[in-house]
Structures are given as structure tokens and as C-alpha cells.
Amino acid sequence: MEFGYTVYMLVMALFTLPIFITPFLAAADNSAADGLYWLYSLTCHQQVSRSICLFPGGISDCSDVQAHYRAYEVEKGGLTGYPFPVCARDVGIYFAALLSGVLILFLKKTDVNIVPNPLWFIIALIPIGLDGGTQLIGLRESTNFLRLLTGGIAGFAFSFYCIPLLNRAFPNIKKKKDLL
């Protein structure tokens, strides 16, 4: 397994997995949740209406929750919920980027160092650009499902470009290790 691939998966796992743990920590009133919400606030607006929340009955959309911009606890239908520390679009991006990295492992392509044609990455970014762009200029309001989906498309494509670039950045690590 190439060092670049290992770096990619380690970074993605360390960044993505706490996203899914944070609402459970918040529900358990664990102070670590506050630190994680703060940490992810550096990468995301954390607007509750654009987030996914953990409620006692499961995971649900928070788009109809009336809450402060960055609330770490919300009420919906008499139930207390806890938002993920990043918005729905970011959940899609990060989770799909991690998932596609796992797929690359199963495809036995961890050693690839040829970057695909950038046109394919641009095509993968078109849905997120249209969704976010049309919302940004006020033509329409997106839904959390659409944010999750378009983020997922972009995130899925990301690993197919990032992993070859990382493998190129660390070309001799495996060869030096094999000589020892």
C-alpha cells in the first residue's frame, strides 16, 4: 500500500469520523462535543437549518428547526436534537471522500499515481456549483437532501484526484522501506 494513500485515509478518517460522533457526545452531555463543534466551526458555517440532526428516534433533517445560527441543541416536535458539527453539504463531501477512499482499496488502486483528466473532476463539481451558486444568488433555496447529494458527488470524485497526487508527492517512501 502506497504511503500517499495511507496519508489520505488517515487524514480523512481523523477528520470525518468525529463528525458522526459529535452529536452522540452532545446528547450524552460530554464536554468533548463543545470542542468538536468549535473545531468544525473553523471549516463550516454550522447553520442549523442546513444541517442534519440526531434525535432520539434517529437522524433527521433540521431544515424546519427554529434555532440560533450555531445551536448545539435544538427542539423539534417536542424532542431534543443535536446537529452534526458540519452542514449537510459538508457531511456529503467528507463522508463520500472517505467512502471512495475505501472503494479505491477494494479496487486495489492504492498505488495509482496517474491523475485522471481534470475534466471529470470539473464535471463532478458542476452539481455542487449549481446547487450552491443558485442558492447563493437567491434564485432558490436548496434542500438538505440536495446539499448532501451534491456534496457527495464532489467528495466521491475528490479521492480519485487527491490519492494519485499524494502518491506522487511521496514516491520513494515505499521503495526505501523495501530496502531495509
Distance (Å, whole) CA 75 – CA 78: 6
Q: What is the structure's pLDDT at 177?
A: 53
- The answer to whether residues 97 and 171 belong to one domain is yes
- The answer to whether residues 92 and 164 belong to one domain is yes
Residue 179's CB is within 10 A of a number of other CB atoms, namely 7
Q: Do residues 172 and 165 lie in contact, with contact meaning Cβ atoms separated by under 8 Å?
A: no
Q: How confident is the model at residue 77 (pLDDT cuts 50, 70, 90)?
A: confident
Based on its alpha-carbon atoms, the radius of gyration of the chain, rounded to whole angstroms, reads: 18
Q: What is the pLDDT of residues 13-35, one digit of tens each?
A: 999 999 999 999 999 999 999 99
Reported pTM: 0.90
Burial 101-136 (b: 16+ CB within 10 A, else e): beebeeeeebebeeeeeeeeeeebeebbeebbeebe
Mean pLDDT for all residues in the chain:
92
Which of the listed residues 53, 83, 113 is the one where a domain comes to its end? 83
- The answer to whether residues 96 and 79 belong to one domain is no
Which of the listed residues 22, 57, 83 is the one where a domain comes to its end? 83
Which of the listed residues 60, 83, 106 is the one where a domain comes to its end? 83
> Domain of 22?
11-83
When divided into structural domains, the chain yields a total of: 2
43 within domain boundaries: yes
- The answer to whether residues 28 and 107 belong to one domain is no
